[in-house]
């Protein structure tokens, strides 16, 4: 990734809520830098604090500690009027679309412009332009009840773009959609990012969403950042237990470990097309048991991973290690208790 300017910096961000009997810590010492023009993913399990985090980014929730620096300005130092102006530079889309049922598509999109004082005719013209961008020019007079889930989310994206934001915050924006519709929405977000240079922050609990479009990812676990880095690096070498869970957890649920040793091996580029396991079996002179295998696309690159059962005999195990190291294939030990 080429060098970019930081558009959002989270500095020692923390958030507490007052529970019934005690304070509840939702975020703890969050430090992140998000670069202008990138698609940044924030992934975590339910209850990890990711939705609170996205609401702190635009100060819909006021952090208990720390600060958010947006476009060079400290949000906690702004007046209410200045904060409203800053928020207009951060469009937001949600899982449940939040469209106004009594307004047609065109008027849903023009609504935030009208609130901002834009003349009605000008607001409607802008709404028509945005409908074309999201591929729904023929739905201008339709009402939300007449749209599919994917179409509703496209309207919500158009509405979020109405004020020409610098940042688009997406809070579980594809969670209510089927896989094909999810892919089309993610591709739309990627096109918007590439064509207009809008920074996009995607909050999700699904690694496949991050892998599909994100440049970098932060993994949040138990209210704090467990790890952060380029998506390809996190995929190849997750440093935290929760990172390993997102990369492999669901795939390994059906594997019976029973004191057996397994290696996860990673392929990319030319390696992904080579018969590595067949070569390993020939070199080591024993069959190799494949417990799991997958290939996926991260950014513009096809990558694959495989979990193989390692032989019990130490001599045979060393043969496998020597083969992997000779072929320069990354590998790591995988243990069942990590998932």
What CATH number is attached to the domain comprising 193? 3.40.50.300
Question: 334 falls in which pLDDT band (50, 70, 90)?
Answer: confident
Ranked by mean pLDDT, the top range of 198-207, 233-242, 288-297 is: 198-207
> For 13-23, what is the mean pLDDT?
88
Strand partners, 309: 262, 289
Global pTM? 0.84
Q: Give Dmax (Cα) for the chain.
A: 78
Is residue 249 predicted with pLDDT exceeding 70?
A: no
In the numeric block, the tokens 């598509």 are attached to 105
pLDDT in tens, 48-65: 888 899 999 999 999 999
Strand partners, 133: none
Is residue 271 predicted with pLDDT exceeding 60?
A: no
Question: 270 falls in which pLDDT band (50, 70, 90)?
Answer: very low
Question: 256 falls in which pLDDT band (50, 70, 90)?
Answer: low
Separation CA 274–CA 246 (nearest Å)? 26
> Does a structural domain hold residue 1?
no
Query: Which CATH number goes with the domain that contains 330?
Result: 3.30.70.260
Is residue 181 predicted with pLDDT exceeding 80?
A: yes
Tell me which of 213-217, 228-232, 303-307 is least confident: 303-307
> Does a structural domain hold residue 214?
yes
Is residue 274 predicted with pLDDT exceeding 80?
A: no
Q: Please indicate, yes or no, whether residues 117 and 212 belong to a single structural domain of this protein.
A: yes
Q: Please indicate, yes or no, whether residues 215 and 301 belong to a single structural domain of this protein.
A: no
Average pLDDT, the chain: 87
Q: Please indicate, yes or no, whether residues 225 and 323 belong to a single structural domain of this protein.
A: no
Separation CA 74–CA 77 (nearest Å)? 5
Q: Please indicate, yes or no, whether residues 209 and 263 belong to a single structural domain of this protein.
A: no
SS3 at position 20: coil
Domain of 263? 253-338
Question: 1 falls in which pLDDT band (50, 70, 90)?
Answer: very low
């Amino acid at each position: 990734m080429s060098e970019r300017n930081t558009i959002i910096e989270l500095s020692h961000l923390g958030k507490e809520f007052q529970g019934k009997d005690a304070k509840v810590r939702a975020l703890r010492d969050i430090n992140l830098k998000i670069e202008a023009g990138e698609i940044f993913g924030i992934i975590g399990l339910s209850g990890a604090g990711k939705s609170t985090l996205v609401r702190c980014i635009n100060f819909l929730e006021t952090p208990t500690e720390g600060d958010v620096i947006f476009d060079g300005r400290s949000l906690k130092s702004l007046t209410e009027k200045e904060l409203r102006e800053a928020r207009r530079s951060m469009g937001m889309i949600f899982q449940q679309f939040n469209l106004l049922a009594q307004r047609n598509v065109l008027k849903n999109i023009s609504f935030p412009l009208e609130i901002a004082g834009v003349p009605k005719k000008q607001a409607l013209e802008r709404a028509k332009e945005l409908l074309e961008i999201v591929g729904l020019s023929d739905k201008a007079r339709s009402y939300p009840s007449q749209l599919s889930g994917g179409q509703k989310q496209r309207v919500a994206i158009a509405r979020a773009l109405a004020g020409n934001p610098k940042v688009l915050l997406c809070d579980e924006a594809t969670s209510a959609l089927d896989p094909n519709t999810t892919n089309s929405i993610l591709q739309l977000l990627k096109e918007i990012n590439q064509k207009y240079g809008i920074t996009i922050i995607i909050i999700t609990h699904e690694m496949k969403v991050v892998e599909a479009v994100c440049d970098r990812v932060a993994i949040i676990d138990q209210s704090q950042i467990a790890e952060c880095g380029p998506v390809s690096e996190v995929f190849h070498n997750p440093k935290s237990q929760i990172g390993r869970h997102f990369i492999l957890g669901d795939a390994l649920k059906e594997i019976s470990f029973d004191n057996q040793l397994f290696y996860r091996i990673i392929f990319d580029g030319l390696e992904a097309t080579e018969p590595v396991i067949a070569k390993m079996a020939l070199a080591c002179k024993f069959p190799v048991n494949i417990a799991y295998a997958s290939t996926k696309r991260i950014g513009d690159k096809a990558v694959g991973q495989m979990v193989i059962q390692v032989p019990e005999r130490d001599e045979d195990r060393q043969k496998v290690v020597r083969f992997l190291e000779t072929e320069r294939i990354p590998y790591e030990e995988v243990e069942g208790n990590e998932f």
